[in-house]
Structure 1
Amino acid sequence: MDASSAAVKYTSLKRAKSRTKAVKVLLILLSFLLALVFAFPLYWLLRGAFVNHAEILARPPVFFPGAPGFDNFRLGLERIQFLRQLWNSVSIVVPYVIGTVLTTSFAGYAFAKLRFPLRGLWFTLVISTMMLPSAVTLLPQYSLYTSMGLAGKPALIIPAFFCAGGNAYFVFLLRQFFMTIPGELSEAAKIDGAGYFRIYSRIMLPLIRPAMIVVALFSFINCWNEFFYTMIYLKTEADYTLPMGLYIVNGMRIPNYEQVMALALVVTTPCLVFFLIGNKYFVEGIALTGIKG
């Protein structure tokens, strides 16, 4: 009986291990398949940047360029004021990212660590703005900026810094991180004579570095790829950003998809580089968002 029981137990364990191994193999295959699905648009962008006009319009589609070349990059860059539009994009993105990180971290710190009247109500109002479509506030913002004389590129640069903190999701994200920090650290700093700003800058900010990097990364990607607001506010080609340059390259009568894809690859590269650099902190930030409510 003992030998037969041991044999049955061994067989059961072997089957369990086999099932576990089969499940792992299936999960790996599924992950690989999903990776291919999500990576295919990026490959199609790379493919489109190096094919000629005939190949990009060919049906059935050409999956591999016959004679890859860099003519699409040269022709696309010649059709726009690339350096000027690059500078316009950078001059808007930098103040936007800085303003977003500063204002949302101030608000997140206040909602998490400070005690003031109706704190819960104000936080609820901030979170409720996430339900408000951006198109609803477009007309009041446009009227406000034009009445203040902010026309052209300044209409995006100035509010980009001072009004960047209106993103309620970033406020919520940083508040969650601030709430994971023990209150004893603030109390000890107060005993040593530190004020609120010193506690915020010297103690809190270094501890939430992953969340700050996530906010900066998302802010950069959102602002760098912004097209709708730039189309509304920017009136001259000299003030256009790179996404607007892509719109120019794509002709109305004769579409230049290959040149658009070449420039889209150029425009997308900074986002990919920054994401790869901050990927570690991005994953850590998402994982730690809801640790403490």
Structure 2
Amino acid sequence: MTTATAMKYSSIKRAKSRSKAIHVALIAVSCLLAVVFAFPLYWLLRGAFVSHSEILARPPVFFPKEPGIENFRLGLERIQFLRQLWNSVSIVVPYVIGTVLTTSFAGYAFAKLRFPLRGMWFVLVISSMMLPSAVTLLPQFSLYTSLGLAGKPALIIPAFFCAGGNAYFVFLLRQFFMTIPVELSEAAKIDGAGHFRIYSRIMLPLIRPAMIVVALFSFINCWNEFFYTMIYLKTEADYTLPMGLYIVNGMRIRTMSRSWPLHWSSPLPAWCFS
């Protein structure tokens, strides 16, 4: 009995030793992969703080000898950074608010209200996801031009009211609304609550995670929007930050040999605000 117990204890000890060795090996491999994947990011970050001579040094300089922020100062001077940052914020905030409000209204209507041809209207909304944006570009441009909004900051007004055109967000919120038991709405109606009160006091708090997702995705989509801003905004003073960073990136062709550090530092603001 003693021999069997000793053999069992020995096998358990060997198994623990093997498990510990495998665990240490996995940690070592994970650390190695982390270094491999993080090195390009470090190299770009290093290039943003070094001088032109250190960028082209052979052999490469892995640690800056005299780091500085001169490259960022040059970047801020070449584009109207603060102005373009404000332009981006002034467009993104109304767009996000409009998207969350209009898509939640539509999602609630399709999930909880009963009206004629509800299924057909929902199919039409979902079908709009198959419509390329290029198809609506010319009519939108003609409409905004006739209203005198093209190339003006007032363009954010139709962005606010038309933000709910994203059919995917309508579908997403509708599915969340449908998971809420109908008994909650019926109890609220018995207490005298109308549809807006039910929507604002009962439904919205229950779908807060979905609304956060909609807000985040709409923020990213609007902030990174380049095609429409390039068409509608005419002057550099009205450009958004992605447009300004594109201008800095375009300088590479003309000033490649003189401003390497500037181009190495230009992607960093894009990561911070994208």
For Structure 1 versus Structure 2, the TM-score category normalised by the shorter chain is 0.7 to 0.9
Query: Is the 8 Å Cα contact of residues 153 and 238 (structure 2) preserved in structure 1?
Result: no
For residue 99 of structure 2, give the secondary structure of its aligned residue in structure 1. helix
**Residues 273-288 of structure 1: pairs in structure 2 closer than 5 A:** none
**AA paired with 2:75?**
G
- Tell me the equivalent position of 2:92: 93
- Tell me the equivalent position of 1:199: 198
- Tell me the equivalent position of 2:135: 136
Query: Is the 8 Å Cα contact of residues 155 and 233 (structure 1) preserved in structure 2?
Result: no
Question: Cα gap change, 1:78/1:113 in structure 2, threshold over 3 Å: closer, same or farther?
Answer: same
Q: Single out whichever of 166-175 and 257-266 deviates more from structure 2.
A: 257-266
For residues 20 and 130 of structure 1, what CA distance do their matches in structure 2 show?
A: 51
- Tell me the equivalent position of 1:49: 48
Q: Single out whichever of 80-89 and 61-70 deviates more from structure 2.
A: 61-70
**Residues 196-235 of structure 1: pairs in structure 2 closer than 5 A:** 196-235=195-234
- Tell me the equivalent position of 2:149: 150
Superposition deviation, residue 96 in structure 1: 0.6
Question: Cα gap change, 1:18/1:173 in structure 2, threshold over 3 Å: closer, same or farther?
Answer: farther
For residue 175 of structure 1, give the secondary structure of its aligned residue in structure 2. helix
For residues 224 and 121 of structure 1, what CA distance do their matches in structure 2 show?
A: 33
Count of residue pairs brought into register by the alignment = 269
- Tell me the equivalent position of 1:67: 66
**Residues 180-191 of structure 1: pairs in structure 2 closer than 5 A:** 180-191=179-190
Listed one character per residue, the Cα deviations across residues 1-39 of structure 1 (whole Å, up to 9, x for unaligned) are: xx98xx89x969x96x89988998888788777766776
For residues 169 and 241 of structure 1, what CA distance do their matches in structure 2 show?
A: 25
Q: Single out whichever of 151-160 and 212-221 deviates more from structure 2.
A: 151-160
Superposition deviation, residue 185 in structure 1: 0.8
Matched, 1:266 2:269: yes
Listed one character per residue, the Cα deviations across residues 29-54 of structure 1 (whole Å, up to 9, x for unaligned) are: 88777766776665454334223334
For residues 109 and 29 of structure 1, what CA distance do their matches in structure 2 show?
A: 51
Q: Percent identity?
A: 81
Superposition deviation, residue 270 in structure 1: 4.3
Tell which structure's C-alpha radius of gyration is larger: 2
Query: Is the 8 Å Cα contact of residues 107 and 173 (structure 2) preserved in structure 1?
Result: yes
Listed one character per residue, the Cα deviations across residues 176-213 of structure 1 (whole Å, up to 9, x for unaligned) are: 22122111111111111111111111111111111111
Q: Single out whichever of 17-26 and 78-87 deviates more from structure 2.
A: 17-26
Question: Cα gap change, 1:127/1:260 in structure 2, threshold over 3 Å: closer, same or farther?
Answer: farther
Question: Cα gap change, 1:121/1:77 in structure 2, threshold over 3 Å: closer, same or farther?
Answer: same
- Tell me the equivalent position of 2:117: 118
For residues 123 and 140 of structure 1, what CA distance do their matches in structure 2 show?
A: 23
For residues 35 and 113 of structure 1, what CA distance do their matches in structure 2 show?
A: 48
Listed one character per residue, the Cα deviations across residues 200-246 of structure 1 (whole Å, up to 9, x for unaligned) are: 11111111111111111121122122222111111111111111111
- Tell me the equivalent position of 2:254: 253
**AA paired with 1:180?**
T
**AA paired with 2:111?**
A
For residue 254 of structure 2, give the secondary structure of its aligned residue in structure 1. coil
Question: Cα gap change, 1:26/1:113 in structure 2, threshold over 3 Å: closer, same or farther?
Answer: farther
Query: Is the 8 Å Cα contact of residues 111 and 175 (structure 2) preserved in structure 1?
Result: yes
**AA paired with 2:255?**
I
**AA paired with 1:168?**
A
Superposition deviation, residue 142 in structure 1: 1.7
- Tell me the equivalent position of 1:290: none
Superposition deviation, residue 266 in structure 1: 2.9
Listed one character per residue, the Cα deviations across residues 50-98 of structure 1 (whole Å, up to 9, x for unaligned) are: 2333444568876544432111111111112222212211111111111
Question: Cα gap change, 1:247/1:61 in structure 2, threshold over 3 Å: closer, same or farther?
Answer: farther
**AA paired with 1:109?**
Y
Query: Is the 8 Å Cα contact of residues 145 and 155 (structure 1) preserved in structure 2?
Result: no
Structure 2: which 5+ runs fail to align?
Answer: none
Give the superposed CA RMSD: 3.4
For residue 235 of structure 1, give the secondary structure of its aligned residue in structure 2. coil
Query: Is the 8 Å Cα contact of residues 96 and 164 (structure 1) preserved in structure 2?
Result: yes
Q: Single out whichever of 101-110 and 124-133 deviates more from structure 2.
A: 124-133
For residue 253 of structure 1, give the secondary structure of its aligned residue in structure 2. helix
